[in-house]
Chain A
Amino acid sequence: EADIYQTPRYLVIGTGKKITLECSQTMGHDKMYWYQQDPGMELHLIHYSYGVNSTEKGDLSSESTVSRIRTEHFPLTLESARPSHTSQYLCASSEYIGSLPGETQYFGPGTRLLVL
């Protein structure tokens, strides 16, 4: 079982503010992911990373950006929050096993963001 942490768990913020959602994992996993999800609805991949200095955009277009300077840390930043960004953001990690499928993704507890 992976240990993966997200802070804050809940965030209420005004429009136009810059926010950073933190995600850290202690499993030494190379791959990390950010998903956006409205409660109980389908997950949408917005960013992923294969390792340090690697970041890619996912299938869902997002105005957020990510960085991967350390293996264990994968923060997500919104430069100017808007009400349309209101959602739950889930971070996950998995052990990279090459181009083979089957990596199990382990999830953090999520951050629920409300932009007023």
Chain B
Amino acid sequence: AQKVTQAQTEISVVEKEDVTLDCVYETRDTTYYLFWYKQPPSGELVFLIRRNSFDEQNEISGRYSWNFQKSTSSFNFTITASQVVDSAVYFCALSEGGPRDYQLIWGAGTKLIIKP
């Protein structure tokens, strides 16, 4: 069955530390997409990245980087030199085709607290 696991419920670090948020997924499909979203305290969900199953290249965007490893079914997210503004709940999600193509399968989220 499809599933997304974010085992870290909450992470707390001091500003400027690097932090990695883990995401492990389960799927039987060979074609699928993975997403990360950020939800700051204001409540809206902000799209961060979309990655398809055929592209295992790591991605870097400023202080953000993503490591996709099909061998371990993981799509981890690293923030380098964290800042207080990075404090938020981060969600990983999976999209598959077929009869459930209408929805994203969401992880439970990881609450990230960056202390000044």
Contacts and interface: CB of A to CB of B under 8 A. Distances in A.
Given A40-B89, A50-B102, A103-B95, A110 B43 contact: yes
B45 interface: yes
Interface of A: 31, 33, 39-43, 45, 48, 50, 56, 58-59, 88, 90, 92, 99-110, 112
A39 B111 CA distance: 11
For chain B, the bracket of interface size reads 20 to 34
Contact of B95 (A48, A101, A109): A101
B44 A99 contact: no
B94 to A, nearest CB: 9
Contacts of B47: 104-107
Contacts of A104: 35, 47, 50
Contact of B109 (A31, A40, A107): A40
